[in-house]
Amino acid sequence: MELPKGYREPKLVYAVELLDEDDRSVGQLGAFVSREMAEACVARLEVEGCTDLVINMIPVHTRLEDWQFDR
């Protein structure tokens, strides 16, 4: 696939989210630029008693044109 001139890859953000009993996200507890930091956050929250946590990878675009190409 040929990318348009000037295309910029999206950055990834790793969001720590809480799931309900139906495995739906009910809130974001933090977002990080590295998976390692998100995993550290999950580990800390689990020690504090939180369960049903997931890490959701979210692409973040810097330009609308790039997002439009990736939709």
Per-residue pLDDT tens over the stretch 39-63:
999 999 999 999 899 999 999 998 8
Give domain status of residue 2, yes or no.
no
Give domain status of residue 51, yes or no.
yes
Read off the pLDDT of residues 4-24 as tens digits, 9 standing for 90 and up. Answer: 888 999 999 999 999 998 989
Rounded to whole angstroms, the Cα distance separating 4 from 58 reads 22
- In which domain, by residue range, is 64 found? 12-70
Name residue, tokens 């495995």: 23
In this prediction the pTM is 0.82
Give domain status of residue 27, yes or no.
yes
Give domain status of residue 6, yes or no.
no
* 33, 17 Cβ separation under 8 angstroms: no
Give domain status of residue 1, yes or no.
no
Structural domain count, the chain: 1
Any residues with CB less than 8 A from the CB of 13 and at least 6 apart, and which? Answer: 31, 32, 33, 57, 58, 59, 60
Give domain status of residue 40, yes or no.
yes
**38 has pLDDT over 90:** yes
Torsion angles phi and psi, residue 31, rounded to 5: -140, 140
